[in-house]
Structures are given as structure tokens and as C-alpha cells.
Structure 1
Amino acid sequence: MPRTNGERTPARPTSVRQHQRHARILRVAARLGAEHGLERMQMHDVARESGVAIATLYRYFPSKPHLFAAVMHDQVLRMEAETPPPPPGTEAAEAVGDLLTGASRRLFEQPLLALAMMQSGNVSTTGTDRRSRTTDEILADLVLRTAGVAEPTERDRSVARILEQAWYGLLTTVLYERASHREALDGIRLACRLLLRPV
């Protein structure tokens, strides 16, 4: 597991130009991560292909885990923005199962990038901004919205968190080649049925 720099808080982009630069870095990191994975990807290559100085890259992302955690955060934000509400009458377990199995298939297409993001998932991407939602919070909100829960209770949020953890665990078994894609997808569907059944 790569060593993270826990002492430096990542800088946050503020201007339009900084946001564009930040987004460009994430796109390049996602592409290079898909080709090389966490260990073999070099920060100098990301800086060069993004057109930024290496010091700028490290100001936003103090380590490769910080960078890949930000890539994951960005991808979950895009998934949230691009996911339409389920058709009326769709059962919660089916809707959330479709959401998570669809996301899983996309991750399985780029296993090195998926593994890099999973290995980096414990690094915070929100810095000191307490208003920013974490990757886990965004995903839990998306699960609840997809399940049709408009006003979630604490129990609803606990179920969403447990389901999210089950999903991560099943993804990891595939990425470490301990289970097949089919076994993981079936496990995700089963977890949704067990956790989202009416009480």
C-alpha cells in the first residue's frame, strides 16, 4: 500500500482557470491510471500530460492516493449527475441493483483504474471544507434517491452505508481476482434485496 502524506491539506481550486486545470489533471490521471495502475503511474507523467508544473500537481494532490481518491470523487459526482430517476413503480431493490451493477460493469472495464481508486478510497478529498460531501456521502445519497427515499431516516442512511460497504467489498473480490464478475453482480443484487426489502 502506498504511503500517503497525511500532513499537507490539498489546495482547492477557486477560479475558473484553476477548476479547468484541476479537471484536466483528473482526466489525465484517470487515463494513465487505467493504463498503469496506482503503483506504476508516475506523478511526473500526469503533470507533463496535464500541462502543469509538478509543484502545482502536488499542491492539489500531495500523493498518488490523494489523486486517485479525487478521481473517484469526480466519477461518483458524475454518476450522480447522470443517473435519472427510476421509472415509476420500480422496486427499490431492483432500481438500486441496476445502479450498482451498471457502475460495477464500467469499473470492471478498467480494472487497474478501479483498483487504484479503491486502494485510495480512505484518503479525504474534501480538505477543510466541511460543506463538501465525501465520496461515500454522495454515493449514499444517490442510493437513497434511486430507492425512492425522499426523506431518509437514520435507519435509511445506515442501510445505504452498509449497502455501499457491501458493494465495495464485492468489487474488491473481483479486482483482486478472488471472484468472477458474475458472482459479484449476483452478490450485489442479493445485498440489495436483503437490505432494501420493506420492514
Structure 2
Amino acid sequence: MRSPAAPTSARQAARRVRILRAASDLGSRDGLADVQMHDVAREAGVAIATLYRYFPSKPLLFLGVLEWHIEQFLGGRDGGAPVAADADPVTEVADTLVALSGKLLADQLLASAVALSSFTEYASVVPTRIDIVEKALGQRLLHLLGDRGEACSRVRLLVYSWWGLFVAMLTEEISTEQGEADLRLAARLIAAR
């Protein structure tokens, strides 16, 4: 499977966002199994070849939807708003992960779509992987933790912990309250020095 193409102009970036918005709307309404790539292309107003250029498969499309929702939540890819000088990084990390989980879990069908896509994508062979620290959530957590020793490893551990707890809350293996408590514990154990 080839890697998704990245937009190289403002027009292409806008087209990619239309695709992500359409997939998000359809996933939220119909769930992953009932979303067809042709429907996404039609809803976004793009040719099916354009859709496949940016997203070679439905799992990669919904992973893009997940990352886009995270970027929207965080306020962009640059790490988001500045952190107050007196802010506790551990509390900021925990609050970010808890709030992000709540935002994503508010739409159960879409949350299920992005989670299922993640499992499908990781089960397939993809030629390149991007380090999660480079993604929007990783950048935000790195920003909150500062450039301290082992910061990238701590961020990876935090994101993996968050994802596991997010899926456990989504599948109701644990309650939202327990997931939030566990996220706060993970932040204390992993982010604190």
C-alpha cells in the first residue's frame, strides 16, 4: 500500500480538509462499516482518484480523521496555546488527555470508526510510519513537558497509555470516570520527574 500524499498548496490543503470533514460527518452518522469511499468523495466534492491520492484506504482515511480532530481540539499542529509559567506540567498533561478523551467519546460512532481504523491499519503492512511524537498530540505533550531528558520517550508512553484507556472507555471495559482517574495516574507516573 502506498503512503498518503501530502497537500502542497493551500488549495490542496482545503480539499484535504473537505475530505476529512465529509468522512467525519459520514462516520458520525453511519459508522465505519457503512461509509463508502465513493460517498466520501461525493460529499467532499472531489473525484474518487483525488480521495485515494490523499487516503489510499478507508483505514488511513479514518486515521486522518482522528488526527484532524485532535489537531482541531488542540488548536493546530504547533502545540496549541502557550502554557502559563506557573502551570504544573503533569496537571496540564492530564487535563489535556482527559478533555481530549471526552471530546472524542462524545460521538460514539465516529470514535468507534477511528478506533477500528487504527486496529486495521496497524494489522496491515504500511511502508512508512511517522513517529507519534511528531503528530499534533505528541507535539502538545512535548510542549507541556518541556525539552527535558527522555521527553520523547515519556510522550510516547503517555500517548500509548491514553490510547489504551480511550479504547477501554469506548468499549465500556472501564467507566469514563475510571478512565479519567487512570489517565491522571498515568500522567503523574510518566510525566513527573
Amino acid at match of 2:4: P
Three-state SS of the structure 1 residue aligned to 2:174 is coil
Looking at structure 2, the residues matched to 31 and 152 of structure 1 have their Cα atoms a distance apart, in angstroms, of: 39
Equivalent residue for 1:59, pick from 50, 53, 57: 53
For structure 1, which segment, 81-90 or 37-46, has the greater mean C-alpha deviation from structure 2 after superposition? 81-90
Aligned match of 1:152: 148
Residue 31 of structure 1: CA displacement? 1.2
Asked if the contact 1:76–1:135 (Cα under 8 Å) also holds between the matched residues in 2, the reply is no
Asked if residue 192 in structure 1 is aligned to residue 187 in structure 2, the reply is yes
Per-residue displacement from partner, 1:154-191 (whole Å, max 9, x unpaired)? Answer: x2211111111110000000111211111111110111
Looking at structure 2, the residues matched to 140 and 56 of structure 1 have their Cα atoms a distance apart, in angstroms, of: 28
What's the TM-score once normalised by structure 2's chain length? 0.84
What's the TM-score once normalised by structure 1's chain length? 0.82
Equivalent residue for 2:170, pick from 159, 171, 175: 175
Amino acid at match of 1:66: L
Q: Go from structure 1 to structure 2 and tell me whether the alpha carbon gap of 1:177 and 1:143 turns closer, same or farther (over 3 Å shift).
A: same
Residue 17 of structure 1: CA displacement? 2.4
Looking at structure 2, the residues matched to 51 and 178 of structure 1 have their Cα atoms a distance apart, in angstroms, of: 39
Looking at structure 1, the residues matched to 80 and 9 of structure 2 have their Cα atoms a distance apart, in angstroms, of: 28
Q: Go from structure 1 to structure 2 and tell me whether the alpha carbon gap of 1:157 and 1:134 turns closer, same or farther (over 3 Å shift).
A: closer
Looking at structure 2, the residues matched to 144 and 16 of structure 1 have their Cα atoms a distance apart, in angstroms, of: 27
Asked if residue 34 in structure 1 is aligned to residue 31 in structure 2, the reply is no
Counterparts of residues 1-199 of structure 1 (less than 5 Å): 7-78=1-72, 79=74, 81=76, 83-121=80-118, 123=121, 134-138=131-135, 139-147=137-145, 149=146, 151-153=147-149, 155-198=150-193
Residue 102 of structure 1: CA displacement? 0.8
Q: CA RMSD in A?
A: 2.4
Q: Percent identity over the alignment?
A: 39
Q: Go from structure 1 to structure 2 and tell me whether the alpha carbon gap of 1:116 and 1:136 turns closer, same or farther (over 3 Å shift).
A: farther
Provide structure 1 residue ranges, at least 5 long, that are not aligned to the other structure: 1-6
Asked if the contact 2:41–2:51 (Cα under 8 Å) also holds between the matched residues in 1, the reply is yes
Per-residue displacement from partner, 1:80-127 (whole Å, max 9, x unpaired)? Answer: 538323333222211111111111110111122122223333749xx9
For structure 1, which segment, 86-95 or 162-171, has the greater mean C-alpha deviation from structure 2 after superposition? 86-95
Asked if the contact 2:132–2:156 (Cα under 8 Å) also holds between the matched residues in 1, the reply is no
Looking at structure 2, the residues matched to 9 and 160 of structure 1 have their Cα atoms a distance apart, in angstroms, of: 25
Q: Go from structure 1 to structure 2 and tell me whether the alpha carbon gap of 1:83 and 1:9 turns closer, same or farther (over 3 Å shift).
A: closer
Amino acid at match of 1:48: R
Three-state SS of the structure 1 residue aligned to 2:112 is helix
Looking at structure 1, the residues matched to 133 and 31 of structure 2 have their Cα atoms a distance apart, in angstroms, of: 22
Asked if the contact 1:28–1:46 (Cα under 8 Å) also holds between the matched residues in 2, the reply is yes
Q: Go from structure 1 to structure 2 and tell me whether the alpha carbon gap of 1:177 and 1:83 turns closer, same or farther (over 3 Å shift).
A: same
Looking at structure 2, the residues matched to 129 and 80 of structure 1 have their Cα atoms a distance apart, in angstroms, of: 26
Residue 55 of structure 1: CA displacement? 2.2
